[in-house]
Structure 1
Amino acid sequence: MHGGACMIPRHRLLKIHRVCGLAAAVFILLQAITGCMLVYRADLARLIDPAGMTRHHRATTAPPSRIVASLGHAYPKAAMRRLIFARDGTQTHIAHLVDRAGAAIYVSLDPGDAAILRQGTIWRFPLEAISQIHFGLMAGMAGLAVVALTGLSILTLAMLGLLYWWPRAGRWRRSLEIRRHRSLGPVLRQFHRSLGVTASALILISALTGLAMAGELLWQRAPQTRSGSSLDQPGLGLAVEQALTLAQSGFPGHRVRDIRMPDGATLNVYFWAPERNARAVHGVSVDLAAMRVTATTPASADASIWVIALPIHTGEALEKTGRVLALASGLCLAILAISGPLVWLRSRRGQRVATRSRAS
């Protein structure tokens, strides 16, 4: 690819790389930092808010009806959109509610006794806010489109950078050396180049999987969720518990990931499906009025892109090693998003100094 192997002149590759990088640097840095924080999301949430995000009562487990009752007592006129179940014995349940004005309410509950540990807007739940920023900038479809463009920018930068760097045969090792120099500028430029090349595989995988998921969501354009029944509806807690038991009969032994109420008549239940991968789920829809299963989607039948892409993107496909690699990818990307503009700034400064010297 060096010399004649690439049809685009090297100086033009560098110019496109520079313009694209400067235009997207802030968004890339935001994606990198938020992504790093989400790699160990549950642990970081407990570190930031141990009182509100840690299970305190471990001897008992509150039934779903009690959880719904606890939410109904605190927010009788709100509707429950989603209830995320604790994944292990240290985490809490997280409920997503919406009041009559359409404002979102978040609640953390102790799985042991259904006590409310933390409640309020999304800003009371930093990791939930970080998650929504990472996946859509909290700006709906427009934010998701920006995230997709950011992923595309990362792919473009990585490919252009590799094409610009690609050395002649026998010069691979030397092309990655960072040589001493009296000025910081050349050292910073060499560091940016070497880090980018070394981390390119991880960054490309992260960008490709992220872009694939964002593209799928943009293509699907998920319909707006309607408000469900108010939590003070008589018998709602018992109905949710019965529906959950009915759904569980189809996937015995599988832990519940979350339940959702897209409207007042349906309960969607999602069970973890580790037999496929770390993020896959079995889905069951239950008609609350008739108390019957209306749809079942086993994880093996789910052809969604995210089912394959998400565990690769988060690193969970390789368990602990994968999460470390995902964190390393995010950190490298953040450093590149900072060092790239710094290289450009120092280059501009050097050009201005040289221009003044010639003029004098």
Structure 2
Amino acid sequence: MKPGTFLRIHRWIALAFAPLLLIQALTGTMILFREPLAQTLDPGAMTRQSSHDMQPAPLSQLLEAAGARFPTMRVTRLFMPSGPDAAAFAQLTGAQGEVRYASIDPGNARVLAAGPIWRFPIEAALQIHYRLLGDWLGIAIVTLNGLALFLIGVSGVKHWWPGRGRIVASLKVRRNLPSRIKLRLYHRSAGAIASILILFSATTGVLLAAADLPLGPAPASAAPARTITLSSGQVDNAISLLHARLPEARMRDIRIGPDGTLAINLLAPEAGPRAVDVVQIDATGPSLDKVLKSDDNPALWLTVLPLHAGDSFGLPGRLLLMAEALALIFLCISGPLQWWRARSSRPGAKK
């Protein structure tokens, strides 16, 4: 391969994807500590306001409170509080696909805040990071972005690689150099130091996003079924059945299907930091139709997401990923900046 080939690959892919990579790095930084950051930025909306001495409100009351705020929409998903001071969080969907959100006090079932995704900035950051607030096209762009980051990392390391005996020396930047050259060397050194983590994040990110792409033939469309509106009694009876069958169950979130089915993710920390057991209940009965233990669940995200989010390595892992994200932000800014400076300094460049 000709000298400079890896540099050209690195440069042009990086310039093309720098804005998207900057967005991914910024949103990734925000969601590394998603729950505590949300509570810090918006305590009135994301923190429980009622007394901790109160018994938790029944699930049906949480659903009713969210539904009352948006009467023409139905609750499709409810996240239970992640901690004693956290609020519940509901997603509602309208007939035309419009989506709204509501945070709810788990003690008295009072709606704390409600509105579109932008009312909840940390949730918006999560949706941007995962799918650019879109559907399959947003996920496809995120997947392509991850592949580009991987190629940028590999080509950058290949261009920089000084040999095993000169790694430390090649990372040094002398203070007496002109600022233009120091910027280039800082860019080189930051990229080299963060390269292993960048390649790790790119690989795990691509695996997560690609798994949700609608690949293969589309399933045959079924005739639209009538949407079933569950009563409070049906919801509470379904949850009572859950706790009768699985007394130690702790709900992470509930998906409410239009046919009256509740798909409930139960926390399974013994199997991993993000592991869940999945239970499906027909709330019209009620009847418990399926229990899928985390160990038997083939979903790729159960293994890859804790790695991508740093949960598998505890607080040190998340702090390392924070440092990587900050390095990537610097790289996304310094790379285009030095390219622009070099372009502007060429003879005949327009001033």
User: Is the pair's TM-score, using the shorter chain for normalization, greater than 0.5?
Assistant: yes
Unpaired runs of at least 5, structure 2: none
**Residue 92 of structure 2 aligns with which residue?**
97
**Residue 42 of structure 1 aligns with which residue?**
35
Cα contact 1:244–1:269 (8 A) shared by 2: no
Aligned residue pairs: how many?
Answer: 345
CA distance in 2, matches of 1:322, 1:334: 18
Map 1:204-243 → 2, pairs under 5 A? 204-219=199-214, 229=227, 233=229, 236-243=231-238
Q: Deviations over 1:226-273 (max 9, x none)?
A: 89857xx4x622212221232344443232110001223211111011
Cα contact 2:136–2:214 (8 A) shared by 1: no
Q: Residue 168 in 1 paired to residue 130 in 2? A: no
Q: Choose from 3, 12, 18 the match for 1:10.
A: 3
CA distance in 2, matches of 1:137, 1:180: 40
Unpaired runs of at least 5, structure 1: 1-7
Cα distance change, pair 227–33 in 1 and its aligned pair in 2 (3 A): farther
Q: Choose from 17, 21, 28 the match for 2:21.
A: 28
**Residue 304 of structure 1 aligns with which residue?**
299
**Residue 3 of structure 1 aligns with which residue?**
none
Cα contact 2:69–2:114 (8 A) shared by 1: no
Return 99-108 or 54-63, whichever deviates more.
99-108
Q: Deviations over 1:90-128 (max 9, x none)?
A: 110011112334321211100111000001111111111
**TM-score under structure 1 normalisation?**
0.90
Question: How far did 1:204 drift?
Answer: 1.2
SS of 2:346's partner is helix
**Residue 102 of structure 2 aligns with which residue?**
107
Question: How far did 1:330 drift?
Answer: 1.1
Q: Choose from 145, 152, 161 the match for 1:150.
A: 145
CA distance in 2, matches of 1:251, 1:201: 42
The letter for the 1-side match of 2:180 is G
Cα contact 1:165–1:193 (8 A) shared by 2: yes
SS of 1:114's partner is coil
Q: Deviations over 1:77-102 (max 9, x none)?
A: 42110000011011100111123343
Map 1:62-211 → 2, pairs under 5 A? 62-211=57-206
The letter for the 2-side match of 1:22 is L
Map 1:242-281 → 2, pairs under 5 A? 242-281=237-276
Cα contact 1:227–1:262 (8 A) shared by 2: no
Structure number with greater CO (CA < 8 Å, separation at least 6) is 1
SS of 1:340's partner is helix
Cα distance change, pair 250–326 in 1 and its aligned pair in 2 (3 A): farther
CA distance in 2, matches of 1:212, 1:16: 23
Q: Deviations over 1:131-184 (max 9, x none)?
A: 111111112111111100110011001000111111134222211111234421
Map 1:275-290 → 2, pairs under 5 A? 275-290=270-285
SS of 1:177's partner is coil
Q: Deviations over 1:5-49 (max 9, x none)?
A: xxx333111011100000000000000000000011112212221
CA distance in 2, matches of 1:295, 1:261: 15
Q: Residue 351 in 1 paired to residue 329 in 2? A: no
**Residue 336 of structure 1 aligns with which residue?**
331
The letter for the 1-side match of 2:152 is L
Question: How far did 1:65 drift?
Answer: 2.1
SS of 1:275's partner is helix
Q: Give the percent of matched residue pairs that are identical in Structure 1 and Structure 2.
A: 36
CA distance in 2, matches of 1:273, 1:350: 58
**Residue 19 of structure 1 aligns with which residue?**
12
Cα distance change, pair 220–280 in 1 and its aligned pair in 2 (3 A): farther
CA distance in 2, matches of 1:93, 1:156: 40
Return 316-325 or 12-21, whichever deviates more.
316-325
CA distance in 1, matches of 2:186, 2:37: 30
CA distance in 1, matches of 2:204, 2:177: 41
CA distance in 2, matches of 1:130, 1:259: 22
**Residue 53 of structure 2 aligns with which residue?**
59
CA distance in 2, matches of 1:43, 1:236: 34
**Residue 5 of structure 1 aligns with which residue?**
none
The letter for the 1-side match of 2:331 is L
Return 87-96 or 62-71, whichever deviates more.
62-71
Runs (4+) of structure 1 exceeding 6 A deviation are 221-228
SS of 1:102's partner is coil
**TM-score under structure 2 normalisation?**
0.92
The letter for the 2-side match of 1:118 is A
CA RMSD, 1 decimal: 2.3
